[in-house]
């Protein structure tokens, strides 16, 4: 199974809820803290573990691969220019240039 990110990361408990593998956040927390969830092949006990592109999650017989669903260019364009990775920055617009 694949999960495509809509943001830079997804928290582990929210992933389980989004895929309807648990009924609610309390159940997600219980399953994670009961050592029933693995991230990248190791048991994960952090409920709010941030999952990023390339991570994999095992739960209840399911293997979930975390994929980049937003694309680097799309991510960069939603951030203010100064917060974008250098590779995604464009020249400042006239309204972004500081007046002397």
Predicted local confidence at residue 97, as pLDDT: 55
For the cut 80, the answer to whether the pLDDT of residue 77 exceeds it is: no
> What band does 79 get if pLDDT is binned at 50, 70 and 90?
low
Q: Which residues pair with 66 in a beta bridge?
A: 3
For 17-69, write each residue's pLDDT tens digit: 999 999 999 999 999 999 999 999 999 999 999 999 999 999 999 999 999 88
- Provide mean pLDDT across the span 71-83: 53
**CA–CA dist 72, 88 (Å, integer):** 8
- The pTM assigned to this predicted structure is 0.69
**CA–CA dist 86, 20 (Å, integer):** 37
Question: In CATH terms, is domain 2-84 a member of 3.40.640.10?
Answer: no
Per-domain residue ranges for the chain? 2-84
Predicted local confidence at residue 73, as pLDDT: 47
Predicted local confidence at residue 69, as pLDDT: 83
């Amino acid at each position: 199974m694949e999960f495509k990110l809509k943001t830079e990361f997804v928290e582990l408990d929210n992933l389980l809820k989004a895929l309807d593998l648990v009924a609610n956040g309390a159940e997600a927390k219980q399953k994670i803290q009961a050592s029933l969830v693995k991230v990248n092949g190791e048991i994960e006990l952090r409920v709010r573990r941030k999952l990023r592109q390339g991570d994999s999650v095992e739960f209840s017989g399911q293997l979930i691969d975390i994929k980049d669903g937003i694309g680097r260019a799309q991510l960069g364009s939603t951030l203010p220019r100064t917060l974008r990775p250098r590779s995604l920055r464009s020249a400042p617009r006239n309204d972004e240039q500081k007046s002397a």
